[in-house]
Amino acid sequence: MGLNSPGTSSETKKMFVREEITNEAQDRISQLPDAILCHILSLLPTKLAAQTGILSKQWKNVWLSIPALEFQINLRANYEGEWSAFDCFAKPKIESFTNFLDRLFAIRDTSGIKKFRLVCDHQVDSRCLNNWLSALHNVQELDLDLWELGEFPWSPFTNNSLEILKLSCNVLLNIPSSVSFPRLKVLHLHSVTYVGGASVEKLLSSCPVLEDLQISRWQWDNVRNFVIAVPSLKRLTLDFSTPEMDLYDGDDYEDGVEYKLIITAPNLEYLNLIDYMSDSIQVSSMTRVTESRLSVYKILTCVQRTAEQTSNYESNVREIFRSIPNVKHLTIGEFTMNSLGESLDSRLPVFQNLVHLEISFYVANGAILLPSLLKISPKLESLILPQVHYIRDLHNFERNMGITSPNVIGWFNPEENQVKPPQDVPECLLFSLKNVEISCITGRVEEEVELLIYLLGNAMVLEKMTIWYEEYYVSGGPMDTTNYPTARRVQDRLSFTDKLMNCTRGSAACQLDIQMPELQL
């Protein structure tokens, strides 16, 4: 076909039409006000937004006015070489980035930056970092996830514009008396170090409208008495999971060294508390809390602790539960129930509003506490007994701690008849419980099967029960084909399933779902 043939002419016309449409679309975007273009670019990662500068002269400087700057440098995740050579690999990349950011701050109006987020898994030059932060005079959201920062520079943030502050790095917080944050509503502090307990109180007292507070402590941070007194607070997440053995040196116990946590937050609505550090936990009433996750524990069998210290700690844990009587969704961590004793009826309030309960039992008291929990939860609709995540490492943990525990299968102690159905069927079973999910069931403990049959027989409105069958632990240790041959496992599976499928059910509409693992030959 020749160049002047009709087919070629038609295709050429279509090509020109497509170009006109594309150019028209580009012109329409370019005709938008710069403020709208900046807003659109602010929704993109900063690296992509910067690349729009090559589109045309008009676009060259638009991205320099975007109000949000976000940078993520994850060198370790992408590194495949020898770790001894990592610094040589990372150094030129960090230098290139710091040079780029230096130039960016030099040519743009930094007063227009409302959000600055920097994530970097390698050391950044402290001089450069301080220069960047010093330029953020009107920033509203500051998020730093860094390898190390040194001492945090407060002076750039004294103009009262900051609304969100998130720090996740090895940084020292030394709060001057002149600093205040009248607009700060969100404060997240992860792995930071404080001058002392007074600096924590000073920081929090400088935030009169704070609503969301997250604090993670994974190492010694110079604070023994951690006081949180924030009347405006609505959400509180504390992760005090520093291992106990990392907190004490030498004769600290004998010298009376203690770690304390004090919470006063009367308007709190959400509480997530993980605390393996505090010897004493004091909480005020938090009647507005509707959702809570609690995992609090001290190694109470430690020989250094007196009976009085143990009793006081157990009282503290019970007081946490008493402080949230109106909770609707409650998750209780694995070791927490160990501090509450064997009878809960007179020690905890009746949770009249509780509809969802997720609880991991500690094997020492196991499911003996379940009847009492059901009794004080009259409106319960969903009961979750999840996989005990620590179970596979429990023997090593207890051996390291010098703890001797009974032979364990699942979350039951088969050496004691633990589960005793209550004489009176709990109200929630008769009128409200609709969903039950139970993990780590072995079927080899009679009390396990009795509990399941009891729930199926007495839950009158139950809609579904889901069971995850577990074969990992047999006779308190990892399973192998020698102590638990395949033929026996098949027989146990069939027996377990038959007992549940043929038992009397209180709810004719109940669906029973038994999840079996793949049979390992």
pLDDT per residue as tens digits for the range 175-186? 888 888 999 999
Q: 46 near 70, Cβ under 8 Å? A: yes
What is the pTM (predicted TM-score) of this model?
Answer: 0.84
Which one, of 419, 504, 390, 493, lies nearest residue 453 by Cα? Answer: 504
Res. 261: pLDDT tops 50: yes
436-495 tens-digit pLDDT: 999 878 777 777 788 899 999 999 999 999 999 887 555 445 555 567 788 888 888 999
Report whether 500 contacts 456 (CB < 8 A).
yes
**With pLDDT > 90 as the criterion, what percentage of the chain qualifies?**
38
Whether pLDDT at 110 is above 90: no
Coil vs helix vs strand at 384: strand
Mean pLDDT over 97-118 rounds to 90
Give the model's confidence band at 301: pLDDT under 50 very low, under 70 low, under 90 confident, else very high.
very low
- According to the 3-state scheme, what is the secondary structure of 325-355? CCCCEEEECCCHHHHCCCCCCCCCCCCCCCC
Q: Could you tell me where the DSSP H helices lie in 241-363?
A: 307-322
Task: Indicate if the pLDDT at residue 241 is higher than 70.
Answer: yes
Q: What burial class does residue 511 get, using C-beta atoms within 10 Å of its C-beta: 0-12 exposed, 13-18 middle, 19+ buried?
A: exposed
Q: What is the pLDDT of residue 79?
A: 84
Q: How far apart are alpha carbons 295 and 174 in whole angstroms?
A: 30
What local confidence, expressed as pLDDT, does residue 410 receive?
47
Stated length of the chain: 521
Report in angstroms the alpha-carbon separations of 453 from 82, 315, 327, 449, 504.
56, 34, 29, 6, 8
DSSP class of residue 5?
S
Instruction: Answer for the pair 219, 202: CB distance below 8 angstroms, yes or no.
Output: no
pLDDT of 300 over the 50 cut: no
What whole-number distance in Å separates Cα of residue 393 and Cα of residue 366? 17
Q: Give me the mean pLDDT over the 35-50 stretch.
A: 77
Tell me which amino acid residue 389 is. H
According to the model, what pLDDT value does residue 396 have? Answer: 44
- Residue 384: pLDDT band by 50, 70, 90 thresholds? very high
Average pLDDT, the chain: 81
pLDDT band at 246 (very low <50, low <70, confident <90, very high): low
CA atoms within 13 A on the CB side of 173: 25
Q: How far apart are CA 146 and CA 144, in angstroms?
A: 6
Q: What is the pLDDT of residue 244?
A: 64
> What three-state secondary structure class fits 421?
coil
| Token pair listed for 117 | 């987020």
* pLDDT value, residue 393: 44
Q: Looking at residue 411, what is its pLDDT? A: 46
Residue 155: pLDDT band (50, 70, 90) is: confident
Which residue blocks in 411-502 are alpha helix, DSSP H?
427-431, 446-458, 486-501
Residue 388 is predicted with a pLDDT of: 56
**309, 260 Cβ separation under 8 angstroms:** no
Q: Is the pLDDT of residue 422 over 90?
A: no
Torsion sign, CA atoms 145, 217, 411, 473: positive
CB-based contact 173:193 (threshold 8 Å): yes
Q: Return the SS3 of 188.
A: strand
CB 324, CB 289: distance < 8 Å: yes
CA distance 360 to 410: 11
301 by Cβ neighbours in 10 Å (0-12 / 13-18 / 19+) ranks as middle
DSSP code at position 253: T
CA-to-CA dists, residue 145 to 141, 170, 326, 420, angstroms: 13, 9, 36, 50
For residue 441, the model assigns a pLDDT of 82
Q: What is the mean predicted confidence (pLDDT) over 182-194?
A: 94
pLDDT at 406: 42
- How far apart are the C-alpha atoms of 133 and 341, rounded to whole Å? 51
C-alpha 361, offset from chain centre: 20
Residue 75's pLDDT is 87
Instruction: Encode pLDDT of 386-417 as tens digits.
Output: 865 444 444 444 444 444 444 444 445 444 44
Does an H or E element contain 264, and which? strand 260-264
User: Pick from 329, 320, 337, 338: which is nearest to 358 by CA?
Assistant: 329
DSSP tag of 412: B
Helix, strand, coil shares, percent, the chain, to 5 = 35, 20, 45
CB contact at 8 A, 210 and 232: yes
Q: Lowest-confidence range among 81-85, 301-305, 380-384?
A: 301-305
- Cα distances from 79 to residues 122, 125, 144, in angstroms, run 12, 21, 22
Average pLDDT value for residue range 305-319: 84
DSSP codes of every residue in 18-78:
HHHHHHHHHHHHHTS-HHHHHHHHHTS-HHHHHHGGGS-HHHHTGGGG-SEEEEEE-HHHH
Which residues, listed in sequence order, are joined to residue 187 by a DSSP beta bridge?
165, 213
pLDDT at 264 over 90: yes
Q: Is the pLDDT of residue 202 over 90?
A: yes
Q: What is the pLDDT of residue 417?
A: 42
Give me the helices (H) in 74-171, please.
75-78, 86-107, 126-134
* Amino acid code (one letter) for 305: R
| Model confidence pLDDT, tens digit, residues 12-40 | 555 545 555 555 555 577 677 777 877 77
Which pair of tokens denotes residue 208?
A: 């009169």
What pLDDT is recorded for position 227?
97
SS3 category, 514 = strand
- CB contact set of 69 (below 8 Å; sequence gap of 6+): 46, 104, 113, 115, 116, 117
* Most confident segment among 120-124, 176-180, 319-323, 401-405: 319-323
Q: What is the CA radius of gyration of the chain?
A: 30
Separation between Cα atoms, residue 318 and residue 320, nearest integer Å: 5
